[in-house]
Amino acid sequence: MANLDDLARLKGGVPEWNSWRLANPDAVPDLSGADLSGTDLSGTDLSGPNLKRCDLSGADLSRANLSSANLEFADLIGANLSGANLHAAWLLGADLNIANLSEAHLSAANLLDADLSGANLSNADLSGACLSGANLSRANLCGANFSGADLSGANLDEACLIETVFTGINLSGANLRRANLTATQLTGVNFSGADLSGTDLSALDLTGANLRGAKLTGAKLRGNRLRGANLRETDFEGADLSRADLSDAILVRTQLKNADLTGCRVYGTSAWDVQLDGAIQSNLIITPEETPTITVDNLEVAQFIYLLLNNKKIRDVIETVGKKVVLILGRFTTERMAILDAIRDELRKRDYLPVLFDFEKPTNRDITETVSTLAHMARFVIADITDAKSIPQELMLIVPALPSVPVQPLLLASQQEYGMFEHFRRFPWVLEPYLYDDQDGLLAVLTEKVIRPAEAKVKEQTGR
C-alpha cells in the first residue's frame, strides 16, 4: 500500500519531487500499488523506491531514473521508458507488454518471468540482466546488448534480433523459433535445449556455442561459422548447413536427417552416431583453411580419408588389422567367459589383435551389422560353440558370405555339436571343431590345434 505523503509529493510535480529526493537521499519512498497510469513522469528520480504492483500502464517514464527500484509485478503495459535508467531494477513478473524501452539501461536488472512481448528494446543495454523465463515474443531487440545476460527458458518467438549482441549469454531452453538474427553476434552463447526451429541464422558466427540438444529443424545456417561448437544431440533435421564451417565441432548423436551439408568444412570435426539419412553430403571440405582444398562426399569417412592422406603409418595400420585381428565368438556366461578371456590373453601373447563380442543381447540389425563388420576385418574366427545360443545365427551370417575368413570351432568334449552345425561342414573354410576337456588343456595346444590350422586355411583360401 502506497504511503499517502509520498504519493501526494509525487503528484505535486516532477521538479518538486526531484528536489525533495535530492534533499533526502536516504529516504525510501513507498509507492507500492499506486495508480499512476498515464502519468507524465519523464525525467523523474525514482531510484530505489518501492513500486511493487504499481499501475504505470501508459505512463511516460522516458529518461526517468529507476535504478534499483522495486517494480515487481508492476503494470507497465505500453509505458514509455525510452532512455530510462533501470540499472539493477527489480522487474520480476512485471508486465512490459508493448512498452517502449528503446535505449533504456537495464544492465543487471532482474526481469525474471517478465512479459516483454511486443516491447521495443532497440539499442537497450541488458548486459548481465536476468531474463530467465521472460516473454520476448515479437519484441524489437535490434541493436540491443545482452552480453552476459541469462535468457534461459525465455520466449523469443518471432523476435527481431538484427545486430543484437549476444556474447557469452545463456539461452538454454529458450524459444527462438522464427526469430530474425541477422548480423547478430552470438559468440560463446549457451543454446543448449533451445528451440530455433525455422530460424534464419545464415552467415552468423556461432563459434564455440553450446547447442547441445537444441532444436534447429528447418533452420537456415547457410555459411554459418560453427567452429568448435557443441552439437551433441542437436536436431538439424531438414536444416540448411550448406557452406557452414564445422571445423572442430562435436557431433555426437546429432540428427542431420535430410539436412543440406553441401560444401561444409569438416576439418577436425568429431562425428559419432550421426544420423544422416537423406542428408546431402557433397563436397565436404576435409582440409583446414589456407591449405589446398580436398573434398569428400561422406561425413562419416571424412576423418578417415584425411588420416589416410596425411598419416604415412595409416596404411601400415590397415595392413596390420587385416593380418592380426581375430574375432572370438562365444557365450558370456560366467563359466564360458573364463575360457574366452583365456583365449584372448593367449592370442595377445602371440601378437594377434583379439576382438571379443558379446552375443547374449537380442540379435537386431545393429548387432548383425557389427558382427559382419568385425568378421570382414578378421584374419580368422574362433567360435566356441559350447552351449550355443546366439552363435548359430551369427555363423549363418558370417560363413556363407566370407570364404576368405576361416572359422575354427571349439567344443567342450563332454558336449555335442548343436543340430544345425552340420550345415557348415559343406563350406571348405570351416574347420572341424576342436574338442577340448578343460581350459588348461585347450591353452596348452592352442597354437598347434587352433591357430596353425586356421592360419593354414587362410593361406589356402587367400594365398597370403
Q: CB neighbours (10 Å) of residue 70?
A: 23
Question: What amino acid occupies position 441?
Answer: G
Average pLDDT over residues 376-386: 89
- For residue 319, name the pLDDT band (cuts at 50, 70, 90): low
Please report which confidence band the pLDDT of residue 313 belongs to, taking 50, 70 and 90 as the band edges. Answer: low
* Fold of the domain spanning 316-462: Rossmann fold (3.40.50)
Q: Residue 387 class from Cβ within 10 Å (0-12 exposed, 13-18 middle, 19+ buried)?
A: middle
CATH number of the 1-145 domain: 2.160.20.80
pLDDT at 420 over 90: no
- Return mean pLDDT, the chain: 89
Weakest mean pLDDT among 46-60, 211-225, 360-374:
360-374
Q: Which residues lie closer than 8 Å to 172 by C-beta, 6 or more apart? A: 152, 153, 190, 191, 192, 193, 194, 210
Domain residue extents for the chain:
1-145, 186-311, 316-462
- For the entire predicted model, the pTM comes to 0.64
Which CA distances in Å does 302 have to 277, 288, 405, 445?
17, 13, 28, 44
Higher-pLDDT residue of 314 and 26 is 26
- pLDDT confidence bin for 111, thresholds 50/70/90: very high
Cell numbers at 451, concatenated: 591357430
Contact 253, 272 (CB under 8 A): yes
Check whether 341 has a pLDDT greater than 80.
yes
Tell me the DSSP string of 137-151.
Answer: TT-B-TT-B-TT-B-
State which of 319-328, 354-363, 443-452 shows the largest mean pLDDT.
443-452
Listing DSSP states for 393-444 in one string gives: HHHHHHHHH-TTS-EEEEEETTS---GGGGGGGGSTTBPPPEEESSHHHHHH
| Structure-block grid coordinates of residue 205 | 558466427
- Residue matched to cell numbers 507524465: 40
Give yes or no on whether 1-145 and 316-462 have one common fold: no
- Per CATH, the homologous superfamily of domain 186-311 is E3 ubiquitin-protein ligase SopA (2.160.20.80)
**In the predicted model, is pLDDT for residue 243 greater than 70?**
yes
